[in-house]
Homo-oligomer: A and B are copies of this chain.
Amino acid sequence: MENSVDFERLLEEKIEKTEACINKYLPREEGPAKKLAQAMGYAMQAGGKRLRPLILGESYALFGGRGRIAEPFMAALEMIHTHSLIHDDLPALDNDDQRRGRKATHVVFGEAMGILSGDALLNYAYEVALHSFDLAEGSGEVSRVVLSLQILAAKTGLYGMLGGQSVDVDCAGRAADKEMLEEIYLKKTAALLEAAFMIGAVLAGATAAQIQGMEQAGRKFGLAFQIQDDILDVTGSEEELGKPLHSDEKNGKTTYVTIYGIEEAKTQAEKLSREAVELLEGMGQGDGFLPQLVIWLLTRKK
């Protein structure tokens, strides 16, 4: 790609395509459980960069995938991510009334419906991902779908995102140490990103070594992405971020910045980012979009 304007135009296009793919798999807002479907839809339409499905689709392309089999997994991954945002915002957890400049789901639909819509999105993710079996041709593709489902479930659950979330809840109110903070970041943020990098590769027929490489790339990228978030909370501009600055400090939160200081946090994020890019550049036959996306995301100002 020539320059960053071209890259950003291409990114915009890809995000739009990802949106369209997600919308195709959303439930209709009708029938007896209409209100639940509305709450699910409201949460899903909050926008954002659709990072996880975007990465999943790009990872699929990187390993030569050209079919539609990754689409249900793209939508499913965004549903699981959204499930976690709805439940994070609940009064018993982060108690956030706002999400991306709109009222949180439980504020609009009530707390009970907030809980149920999170549950229903998590479950719907599996309903949607299971559609991939209908697109699979031959037993080779069937086993790729099976492995993808196993990765999706493992990275979401007790040993992945939800486990990380529980460690975060468990140590709320007391200072996390280095190890605990890394555990939270690796699980709460990186696990679903690992799933995105891995599942695209699996569905395109990557080798076991390549899939492991993609897991490493996702892990490094996820950690760098979260450290970047900590840095922006201190150094960003409120206007660019679209959210109040210094929220971590106000909430007395331990972050990479409070533990390591701003310079060391930057050094670590850059190192992890460079390693993730190197891993990606060593694999597949892509057009270079995925490593460029990683660099772009890790030099973002918002």
Contact = CB atoms under 8 A, between A and B. Distances in A.
Contacts of A35: 166, 170
Contacts of A112: 92-93, 169, 172
Given A119-B119, A158-B124, A166 B92 contact: no
Nearest to A128: B153
A205 interface: no
B130 A115 contact: no
Contacts of A119: 83, 87, 118-119, 122, 162
A37 interface: yes
A33 B166 contact: yes
A135 to B, nearest CB: 12
A169 B120 contact: no
Contacts of A118: 119
Given A158-B40, A166-B36, A115 B127 contact: no
A37 B116 CA distance: 21
Given A93-B115, A130-B149, A163 B36 contact: yes
Nearest to A152: B126
Contacts of A93: 112, 115
Nearest to A90: B115
Contact of A32 (B117, B153, B163, B169): B163
Interface residues of A, number: 54
A69 to B, nearest CB: 14
Nearest to A27: B158
Contacts of A120: 157-158, 162-163, 166
A159 B33 contact: yes
A27 B31 CA distance: 37
A40 to B, nearest CB: 7
B116 A166 contact: yes
A118 B116 CA distance: 11
13 contacts: A27-B158, A31-B159, A32-B167, A32-B183, A92-B114, A116-B162, A116-B166, A116-B169, A122-B122, A122-B123, A123-B158, A127-B154, A142-B146
Q: Which 4 A-B pairs give the minimum distances between C-beta atoms?
A: A33-B163, A36-B166, A92-B111, A123-B157
Interface of A: 27, 31-33, 35-37, 40, 83, 87, 90, 92-93, 110-120, 122-124, 126-127, 130, 133, 139, 142, 146, 149-150, 153-154, 156-159, 162-167, 169-170, 172, 180, 183, 187
Given A92-B111, A123-B157, 18 more contacts: A31-B159, A32-B163, A32-B180, A33-B158, A33-B162, A33-B163, A36-B158, A36-B166, A93-B112, A110-B169, A113-B169, A116-B162, A120-B163, A123-B158, A124-B157, A126-B153, A133-B146, A142-B146
